Structure 1
Amino acid sequence: MSKTFTKDDVAKKNSPDNGMYIIVDTSVYDVTKFVDEHPGGSKILKRVAGKDATKQFWKYHNESVLKKYGSSLKVGEVGEKAKL
């Protein structure tokens, strides 16, 4: 069963010390352990940690990226509609 988060819950997860979550569409992903493996570099994920990264994600990725990494990084859904 998937956990439900608010945007405020995600906003608190914005640093390596307390975890790094991002929102893509309505899904919440924990990128804390992935940040150093990110092909685009850690700086990008650190910049969007705790935020809705939907616009940035789809600008540089296609659906195959979510198929490859999504299931291992997804921790839940946003209970309220995320703003783009």
Structure 2
Amino acid sequence: MSKSFTKAEVASHKDEKEGMYIIVDDGVYDISGFLDEHPGGAKILKRMAGKDATKQFWKYHGKSVLEKYGEKLKVGTLAETAKL
């Protein structure tokens, strides 16, 4: 069973000390170990750390990228929140 994160919990993971998490769709990914591997450079990943990167991710990546790297980087899912 994977861990469930709120957006606030993801937001607290925005530096290498705490781990760098991003949200893509409903998945939460720890990108801190991927910084040096990212073809676009670490800078863009650092800028998105702690945030919902869904829109930016799908703008530049296809489904195959998430299939290739997703499982090894995924640390959990985004908790559902009530929409008022």
Q: TM-score range by the shorter chain?
A: over 0.9
Distance 1:65 1:24 in 2: 12
1:41 maps to which residue? 41
Runs of 4+ in 1 over 3 A off after TM superposition: none
User: Percent identity at matched positions?
Assistant: 67
Q: Give unmatched runs, 5+ long, in structure 1.
A: none
CA deviation after TM superposition for structure 1 residue 40, in Å: 0.5
After TM superposition, the score normalised by the length of structure 1 is 0.93
Distance 1:36 1:16 in 2: 13
Q: Across the two proteins, how many residue pairs are aligned to each other?
A: 81
Q: Give unmatched runs, 5+ long, in structure 2.
A: none
After TM superposition, the score normalised by the length of structure 2 is 0.93
**Structure 2 matches for 1:1-84, cutoff 5 A?**
1-80=1-80
CA deviation after TM superposition for structure 1 residue 29, in Å: 0.3
CA deviation after TM superposition for structure 1 residue 16, in Å: 1.1
Distance 2:80 2:44 in 1: 25
CA deviation after TM superposition for structure 1 residue 62, in Å: 0.3
Tell which structure's C-alpha radius of gyration is larger: 2
CA deviation after TM superposition for structure 1 residue 80, in Å: 2.3
